[in-house]
Amino acid sequence: MSTSLNLDKDHLTACISCGLCLPHCPTYQTTQDESRSPRGRISLMRGVEDGLMPLSKEVIESLDTCVQCLGCETACPSGVRYGELIGQTREVLNSHRKVSFRLRAGLWILLHMRVLLFGSRVLAVLQRLKLVPNKALPVPSRIPLRGVRYVQNDDPEVILFTGCVMDVWLSQVHEAALSVLDSIGVRYMISGNQVGCCGALHSHAGFRSTANKQALEVISALPSDLPILVDSAGCGAVLKEYGSLLGTQEARIFSSRVYDIHEWLINDSKWRESLPARRPGNKKVIVQDPCHLRHVQKAHTSVRELLTPFVECLELDDEGLCCGAGGAFSVDQPELAKEIRDKKLKSIQRAGRHLVVSANPGCMIHLESAGVEILHPIQVVAEYIGGKEDHE
Amino acid sequence: MGMNDLEDFRESVGKSDPVAVVGGRTHWTVGGNPTDDTRLVSAPVGIDFFDPSEMTVSVKAGTTLKDLNEELSRYRQEVCLEGSSETTVGGALMIGTDGIRRNLIGSIRETLLQAEYVDAKGKLIKAGGPTVKNVTGYDLCRLLVGSLGTLGLVGRVILRTRPQSEKSVWLRGGLSPEEARHICFRPSSLLWNGEETFIQLEGYGVNVDSEILNLKNLGYEELGVKCPISIPSFRHKFVNGMSLDNGIIDVYSSILYKSVEASEPQHSEEVLRLGNRVRKMFDPLGRLNPGRDPYRAGP
Amino acid sequence: MNRSRGNDQLFQELCRDIGTNRVHRDGASQLLYSRDGSAFPGGIPGVVCFPETTQHVVDCIKAANRHDRSFVPRGAGTGLAGGAVPCDAPLVISTTKMNSILEVNYEKRFAWVGPGVVNLDLTKSLTGTGFHFAPDPSSQQSCTIGGNVANNSGGPHCLAYGVTNAHILAIEVVLPDGTLVQLGDVDGHASGYDLRGVFVGGEGTLGIATRIAVKLTPDPPEIRTLLLDFMDVADAAKTVSAIIASGIVPAAIEMMDKRIVNVVEEFVKVGYPTDAAAVLIIEVDGLPEGVKIEVERIQSISLEHGARSVRVASSDEEREQIWKGRKSAFGAVAQIQPGYYLHDTVIPRTKLVEVLEAVYEIANRYELIVMNVFHAGDGNLHPLLVFDPQEPGVMERVLVAGEEIVQVSLDAGGVLSGEHGIGLEKKRFMEKLFSEEDLAAQKLLKDAFDPDGRANPFKVLPSGASCSEVNHLNQLPDGAWV
């Protein structure tokens, strides 16, 4: 099958095959195989574009196994825009083949909040009855039984973006975020159910038209000029990308309002005023950077800045290598995702037996299902800033 | 003039009969004696070119270490070739063993940058290159060092030089070799006679002085510039548990120096086969240093 | 041709011997393993193998022998001279999966590692032990130790510590006939010919390393990194010569000219002076008192020779960022143009000023952009000609300019390659440096190891026959050239 991927030729030729991306690619690190590396994937894209390579099973496998963590973009000294290349490629691939039922079903459900809510409640009950074996599904081990009723302020200063699945599965993170805002006296509202899915996973998986549709909905549902705070790195990344995704002035203005919650807090004067004079205990946490925070938003240092007044932050020794969650990746490529996670687990082990924090629901769920004790950083902050818990 | 010397040397080596180069005869029996029918020739003598700011020297193989070092020390430099003052540059390279200062000054194998040698067919061959770093082609210089003149007869070489240390001193004390290693950053020599360790420190005066102070606090005695013990001449490979027998161990290289000759070293059949293939390639008729065999030489 | 039928049989035997999942021959693998870091317009591998044990490698080579096939060892594929490019449908034997650190002996200061262990991973695994692996090629975060052995790799710190060869004690090798042999020993004193020493730098043409004993180097107690900037390239070059001539051997002296500083700064943002004509990165290490003396001497020498400022890195992070910039330099050039052509000549350090001047003059004359980033301390130049391969006629100019640069280096008493190796790319220049007889002598060594010419054929020596798939060697490839 001879197909054009419609890739930007300049972006393709910008890769000079130096190989400096190899150590930052989770799939190359687990396989040591060129076809699982950024430079290999770019070579294959080039091969397809130049008509040297058919879009064979092996080529598709190579491209499908990319987590899209974009660790390679951070590592590339020439600034190759790999994200754009693989995004565009995925889109073309999706129009040429059947997407797996698992993936399609997963993406569909995100767009249908009622089904998602109903299914999750059923799952939560089954979990309590121990009818779902632990780690059988890519979901948290204890889904909340009922939805949270958030209190909102009049005359809000900020909007917390609550999204779809996170609001259903990890609402405790939103609660923690709101309690932090409460403690320092920031008035807020939430985006809530009517806004729903941001389309991050759809964009990620190469369903750009669905992603664009969600983007339009989200933008029109959240007018005003209030800052939009996001406590999911994956959602935050795509919200910030709406501008370039849609290419409209309205979308660009919207994206400029979006902040990762850590990023926003550290620059907020109320936050700075409420910091303790010295660290309340000697607790240590291991910081696991979500790729969408580190490589896409490049806001990962703010997590440390936010945590350091309260706890000591320990770094992993893998320079921000992906954990294998990768949005829908762990659903689509479960075996590879597990192998990548195994590497991460070893790195966590080397850092010692401490609580792990990660600012993205996907990473939290993926690591938790391997038995890692994990929280969202904002949950740790909430414990301290609210003064709710006394720590050793 | 230099070229003429080499050309004379090439002619004296000839093309067909058994031949060996005689230097200072300081290591004459290493790896066996040349057979009786071997014709002995001498290598040319003299320093061709010494560029102190480049830290390389071009010298003919028959030059003695004494003469070479005299010239180099005028610019406070040295080469890492060891032997007695009568040992020739070519001789030291063909024997190819490192001295006790290897830990600081590096291996003799790193010293030879370029060699011009006469091959078994009587042709003058150039191996390596004049620069301090070089991966242009196969590094035949590596092969020549320690080859006992069995692959080619070296006439002229370019060697890497190094700055002489500002200060050098020996100390004696009671730390075990392992402890001594931990205490000192990069001693040039570390010897052990089974009871005491002998440490040679070299470098900037301030560095050496601060290390001396450290060691004196641990009961070490300062002994001056010259090596305080005489080192027996036969090199044995030391393995843990071996008795010292009044020998002295070079801790960094695990060489045990003893006054009795070592038994012939053991080599795997595969290594010997490969080594012999190399020799056969370079000297199919066996005319270069017949009777000598690098695989029979000690460590 | 019956090559594909031969392939079938060979493929099946390999699958049987080392396992189906370790043998690839699909089109994607063939494309990906046809090139290395040089993006040479390579041939096509017959079969790509991913051995995980020494026995697998033996099996691969024996299979190659049975089918009268050659083989090409391959590490991470970061080589810059086409050394891992397959010619004549060989087995490509990728050692990347042999990536375990097998034994670390702190008492005797060595470690046995698999050839696929990544250079920087070894040093990282030693963090906190007080030791490191000294060779640090710029690609160290990606390249493998097996590849370092094949190319006798250098790196900035090889100025004081020596190139890879000085750090390899012993190597377990599978010879081209399938024989397993250990060259050298962990004490570094094996008697007999130094076959370990010639194997290092053999560019995979003498056999395949399956286990490597590396020397562990003690970490220096003190390190100082200096960033010097100059308004004139010649002043920087003079400073380098003067430092060496003063008897100081720093751990590293690196030079970058204005163009490369600008692309590097764009990437690392550590505050490289982008208006300077050239910068030097100089590192000294050792005991604190001596380091202090060397820093002072280097400062005064450089100021005497026209340095505008000398900045001493104040933290480990700053130091790391400075080095990250230097080590990313090659990878960053695509910011300017998507193609580059690179040489690796070494010249006497006393000739830096005149040769650099000539390099700029040559580039100007051919209307090409040249960027210089190199190991100044040992005279190892890396002139990079940067260009857009789409521009008509540019290839011819690049090639002629490249050849002139090589000639200028050789005329100054230099050599072809300091650390990248000859591979496919530079063998056409070998006759400029060696006579026919010199090259015949080198061939004797190759023949002793590999009488049938199966190991990585068509590399290093300019033989009469040439790789049929790569006979357009004088044409630069489309797209990138590293």
How far apart are the CA of C461 and the nearest CA of chain A, in angstroms?
Answer: 25
pLDDT band of residue C290 (cuts 50, 70, 90) is very high
Which residues face C91 on adjacent strands?
C47, C71
The SS3 call for residue B114 is: strand
Contacts of C23 in chain A (CB under 8 A): none
Question: What confidence score (pLDDT) does residue C477 get?
Answer: 42
Q: How far is C317 from chain A (nearest CA, A)?
A: 14
What pLDDT sits at residue C480?
31
From A95's Cα to the closest Cα of chain C, the distance in A is 21
Instruction: Enumerate the residues of chain C whose CB falls inside 8 A of the CB of residue B98.
Output: 189
CB contact under 8 A, B295 and C434: no
Nearest to B299 among C191, C438, C439 (CB): C191
Candidates B27, B117, B131: best to mutate against C (most CBs of C within 10 A) is B131
CA-based nearest distance C355→chain B, Å: 14
Nearest CA in chain C to A42: C32
Q: List CB contacts of B60: < 8 A, sequence separation 6 or more.
A: B2, B5, B6, B43, B44, B45, B46, B47, B48, B89, B155, B156, B157
CATH number for the region B2-163 comes to 3.30.465.10
ipTM (interface pTM): 0.96
**A9-94: which CATH topology?**
Fumarate Reductase Iron-sulfur Protein; Chain B, domain 2 (1.10.1060)
Mean pLDDT of C455-459: 95
Question: What is the three-state SS of A240-268?
Answer: HHHHHHHCCHHHHHHHHCEEEHHHHHHCC
Nearest to B125 among C202, C220, C438 (CB): C438
Contact between chains at C350 and B53 (C-beta distance less than 8 A): yes
- By Cβ distance, the residue of A20, A22, A54 closest to C328 is A20
- Contacting residues of B for C158, CB less than 8 Å apart: 133
pLDDT value, residue A2: 56
Please give the residue that has the higher pLDDT: either A147 or B92. B92
Over chain C, what HEC string results? CCHHHHHHHHHHHHHHHHCHHHEECCHHHHHHCCCCCCCCCCCCCCEEECCCCHHHHHHHHHHHHHCCCCEEEECCCCCCCCCCCCCCCCEEEECCCCCCEEEEECCCCEEEECCCCEHHHHHHHCCCCCEECCCCCCCCCCCEHHHHHHHCCCCCCHHHHCCHHHHEEEEEEECCCCCEEEEECCCCCCCCCCHHHHHCCCCCCCCEEEEEEEECEECCCEEEEEEEEECCHHHHHHHHHHHHHCCCCCCEEEEEEHHHHHHHHHHHCCCCCCCCCEEEEEEEEECHHHHHHHHHHHHHHHHHCCEEEEEECCCHHHHHHHHHHHHCHHHHHHHCCCEEEECECECCHHHHHHHHHHHHHHHHHCCCEEEEEEEHHHCECCEEEEECCCCCCHHHHHHHHHHHHHHHHHHCCCECECCCCCCCCCHHHHHHHCCHHHHHHHHHHHHHHCCCCCECCCCCCCCCCCCHHHCCCCCCCCCCCC
| Residues of chain C neighbouring B265 (CB-CB closer than 8 A) | 191
Q: Which CATH class is domain A272-385?
A: alpha beta
B110, B140, B237 ranked by CB distance to C162: nearest = B110
Q: Are B220 and B173 in contact (CB under 8 A)?
A: yes
Provide the number of CB pairs (under 8 Å) joining chain B to chain C: 232
Strand order across the A158-161 sheet = A188-190, A158-161, A228-230, A258-260
- Judging by DSSP bridges, how do beta strands C47-49 and C91-94 pair with one another? parallel
Question: How far B282 CA sits from the closest chain C CA (Å)?
Answer: 7
For chain B, which residues make up each domain, given as ranges? Answer: 2-163, 167-258
* pLDDT digits 0-9 by tens, B145-201: 999 999 999 999 999 999 999 999 999 999 999 999 989 999 999 999 999 999 999
B119–C348 C-beta distance less than 8 A: no
Is C27–A56 a contact, with Cβ atoms under 8 angstroms apart? yes
The mean pLDDT of B21-25, rounded to a whole number, is 95
Give, as one character, the DSSP assignment of residue A23: G
CB contact (8 A) between residue B135 and residue C449: no
Which residue in C194, C416, C452 has the most chain B C-beta atoms within 10 A of its own C-beta, making it the best mutation to test that interface?
Answer: C194
Q: Encoding tokens for residue A387?
A: 């003064």
Distance from CA of B217 to the nearest CA of C (A): 18
Best to test chain C binding among A78, A82, A315, A316 (most C CBs inside 10 Å): A78
Q: Tell me, what's the pLDDT at C386?
A: 92
Which of B56, B127, B142 lies nearest to residue C441, judging by beta carbons?
B127
Of B106, B138, B147, the CB nearest to C202: B138
Residue of A nearest to C93 (CA): A33
CB–CB contact A16 C77 (8 Å): no
Please check the confidence at residue C102 and state whether its pLDDT lies above 90: yes
Of the listed ranges A223-237, C121-135, C330-344, the least confidently predicted one is C330-344
Question: According to the model, what pLDDT value does residue C467 have?
Answer: 66
**Per-residue pLDDT, A136:** 61
Question: Could you tell me the end-to-end alpha-carbon distance of chain C, in angstroms, rounded to an integer?
Answer: 34
- Among the residue ranges B103-112, B233-242, C49-58, C307-316, the one predicted with the least confidence is B233-242
Backbone angles phi, psi at C347, to 5 degrees: -125, 160
Q: Between chains, do C332 and A78 touch, taking CB under 8 Å as contact?
A: yes
Among C264, C335, C340, whose Cβ lies nearest the Cβ of A79? C335
B chain contacts of residue C439, beta-carbon cutoff 8 Å: 137
Query: How would residue C209 be classed by pLDDT, with cut points 50, 70 and 90?
Result: very high
pLDDT of residue A134: 61
Residue C478 scores a pLDDT above 60: no
* pLDDT at residue number C465: 59
Per-residue burial over C100-117, b if 16 or more Cβ lie within 10 Å, else e, is ebeebeeeebbbbbbbbb
How far does the CA of residue A39 sit from the closest CA of chain C (Å)?
Answer: 9
What is the C-alpha R_g of chain C?
22
pLDDT at site A305 = 96
For position A277, what pLDDT does the model report?
A: 82
A108 Cβ neighbours under 8 A, 6+ residues apart: none
Q: Which residue of C has its CA nearest to A44?
A: C28
Question: Which residue ranges of chain A lie beneath pLDDT 70?
Answer: 1-2, 133-137, 386-392
CB-based contact C267 A77, cutoff 8 Å: yes
Instruction: Measure the CA–CA gap between A9 and C383, rounded to whole angstroms.
Output: 27
Nearest CA in chain C to A74: C267
CB A193 within 8 A of CB A130: no
Residue C6 has pLDDT above 70, yes or no: no
pLDDT level of residue B82 (50, 70, 90 thresholds):
confident
Give the nearest chain B residue to C107 (CA atoms): B178
**Does the beta-carbon distance from A16 to C33 stay under 8 Å?**
no
Q: Domains of chain C, with CATH numbers?
A: 3-96 (3.30.43.10), 101-218 (3.30.465.10), 222-331 (3.30.70.2190), 336-482 (3.30.70.2740)
pLDDT digits (tens, 9 = 90+) for A151-175: 888 899 999 999 988 888 899 999 9
Judging contacts by C-beta atoms under 8 Å, the chain B residues touching residue C410 are none
Q: Do chains B and A touch (3 or more CB pairs under 8 A)?
A: no
Q: Do B280 and C448 touch (CB under 8 A)?
A: yes
Neighbours of chain A (3+ CB pairs under 8 A): C
Q: Which residues of A touch C74 (CB under 8 A)?
A: none
Buried b (16+ CB within 10 A) or exposed e, A88-105: bbbbbbeeeeeeeeebee
Query: Locate tokens 């040295």: which residue?
Result: B78
pLDDT digits 0-9 by tens, B39-76: 999 999 999 999 999 999 999 999 999 999 999 999 99
Per-residue tokens: A189: 């509202």
CA distance C81 to chain B (A): 12
> How close is the nearest chain C Cα to the Cα of B132, in Å?
6
pLDDT of residue B4: 66
- In angstroms, the CA A385 to CA A310 distance is 9
State whether B133 and C379 contact (CB < 8 Å).
yes
List of chain B residues whose C-beta atoms are within 8 Å of the C-beta of residue C163: 133, 135
A190 with A160: CB under 8 angstroms? yes
- For residue C438, what pLDDT band results from cuts at 50, 70 and 90? very high
Hey, of C193, C222, C295, which one would you mutate to test binding to chain B, going by the most B CBs within 10 A of its CB? C193
- Calculate mean pLDDT across residues C54-61: 98
Alpha-carbon distance A348 to A314, whole Å?
10
Could you tell me which chains touch chain C, where touching means 3 or more CB pairs under 8 A?
A, B
